[in-house]
Amino acid sequence: MARSAHAFVRGSTERFYEWLASPAAAHLPAGPKIWICGDCHVGNLGPVGNSAGRSVVELRDLDQTTIGNPAFDLVRLALSLAMAARGSDLPGVTTARLTEDLVTGYERAFEGDAPSEEIEDLPGPIRTVMRRAVRRTWKHVSAERLGRRRRVLPLGKRFWPLSPLEREAVAGLVEHERVRLLVTDLADREANAEVRMVDAAYWIKGCSSLGLWRVAALVEVRARGAGSSMSLLDLKEATDSFASSGHVDGVPADPAARVVAGAKMLAPALGNRMVAARVMDHSVFVRELLPQDLKIELDYLDPPQIREVAYYLGAVVGRAHGRQLAAEQRRGWRTEMLTHRTKNLDAPGWLWNALVQLVAVHEHAYLEHCRRYAIAEQAESQTR
């Protein structure tokens, strides 16, 4: 999180919701109640593989999903893009323009103009990631995650050993019919194939692993008379969403069931590859890692590039929101988006005001984070 202000924003979802609960956020409109991502930043969108083996760009991390206000997703994505622009040393006018582009893409999706998935039509930075995604195979996943030992998870910095009870519980889950059906749903696998666990380990994977139970399970998929293949499952503990405050109608009480329900609505390609389960006392959602699953990284973009990305990602989020709304609801929410604009900015004033406040809040918090943690880490490393 100390690597950059943008990385800090990605890892500080709780701070974002603290701001939303403050009087400063009172000017945000009360949008229609739909499933929202809840943590809609650039890194949580990207290519996702579906069960047919095709890549599409969708929301790809739904840990915070719940039924709530779609304005929250727009503000969070605008903040992420603004911090990426600052990381590329772009002027403030670019931030203002990309906010306009974000809203324009979002509105176009509500008109039925879905974002293209053809590689040639994608913005440059997203086209690059998508080309990588469509070329990737299991060999790439194996090389990245397993190294040379292809049937063992390499214990060390990223993978830690499980207790015997944990291993037994994970093996039992892998052999459950729901998980077997999940793994064999891919187009190139036999529907009646046997699935068994080969190895499992606790997985250190980004900020979302901190303090939570997360396991990688390496499994073998063996079809009768047709050889075998390997698969890597991600078992991730789900917790309550920062975006939720008490019971919400239509939202499952179980955290993992909530994540899967939201994923099916917002990102069908991903949601249809997930199941909710319990392992010991952990509520977990399970998905297979496909080679096509990649995140978007925005490093040092020029103004035209980041504006293209803002427009496209706005359309992706607009499609995810819009598919949940009836025609009358879409018109009403789009009308809200068109109002409250100023002579100098073709974006809602409430979005711009929220963005300006949040950039200031997160810049201050980022510097304090570096002072408290990064400097201490540097001092400790120098004394070793």
**pLDDT one-digit tens code per residue, 152-207:** 999 998 999 999 999 999 999 999 999 999 999 887 788 888 999 999 999 988 76
Residue 291: per-residue pLDDT: 86
Helix (H, G, I), strand (E, B) or coil at 287: strand
- For residues 126 and 169, membership in a common domain is answered with no
Q: For the residues 349-354, what does the mean pLDDT come to? A: 94
Q: Do 12 and 111 share a domain, yes or no? A: yes
Same domain, 173 and 274: yes
Domain end point (choices 238, 268, 288): 288
Lowest mean per-residue pLDDT among 46-50, 272-276, 377-381: 377-381
Picking from 224, 255, 288, the residue at the C-terminal end of a domain is 288
**Strand order through the sheet with 159-160:** 159-160, 194-203, 214-222, 228-237, 282-288, 274-279
CA dihedral 67→347→1→129, nearest 10 degrees, is 90
How many domains are contained in the chain?
2
Same domain, 373 and 241: no
Checking if the pLDDT of 382 tops 70, the result is no
What does the alpha-carbon distance between residue 313 and residue 106 come to, in Å, rounded to a whole number? 8
Any idea what DSSP says for residue 374? I
Average pLDDT (248-267) is 94
Please give the single-letter amino acid code of residue 172: G
Please, are residues 221 and 269 in contact by the beta-carbon 8 Å criterion? Answer: no
List the structure tokens of 189: 């696998």
19-33, 39-53, 145-159: segment of lowest average pLDDT:
145-159
Find, among 383, 381, 362, the residue nearest to 4 by Cα: 362
Domain identity same for 212 and 234: yes
> What confidence tier does 93 reach under pLDDT thresholds 50, 70, 90?
very high
Range of the structural domain that residue 228 is part of: 138-288
**Pairing assessment for the beta strands 66-68 and 34-36 based on DSSP bridges:** antiparallel
- Cα 273 to its chain centre, rounded Å, is 14
**Report field, pTM of the whole predicted structure over 0.75:** yes
Residues 267 and 306 in one domain: no
My answer on whether 142 and 82 are in the same domain is: no
Nearest to 166 by CA among 282, 285, 256: 282
The verdict on 164 and 266 lying in the same domain is yes
Tell me, what amino acid is at 371? R
- CA–CA separation, 6 and 260 (whole Å): 27
Q: What does the pLDDT read at residue 372?
A: 84
> Are residues 281 and 299 part of one domain?
no
pLDDT at res. 79: 96
The single-letter code of the amino acid at 7 is A
219 and 91 part of one domain = no
User: Do residues 305 and 266 both lie within one domain?
Assistant: no
Question: What CA–CA distance (Å, rounded) separates 205 from 289?
Answer: 13
Q: How far is CA 97 from CA 55, 81, 234, 303, in A?
A: 29, 11, 38, 9
The residue among 367, 362, 281, 271 whose CA lies nearest residue 324 is 271
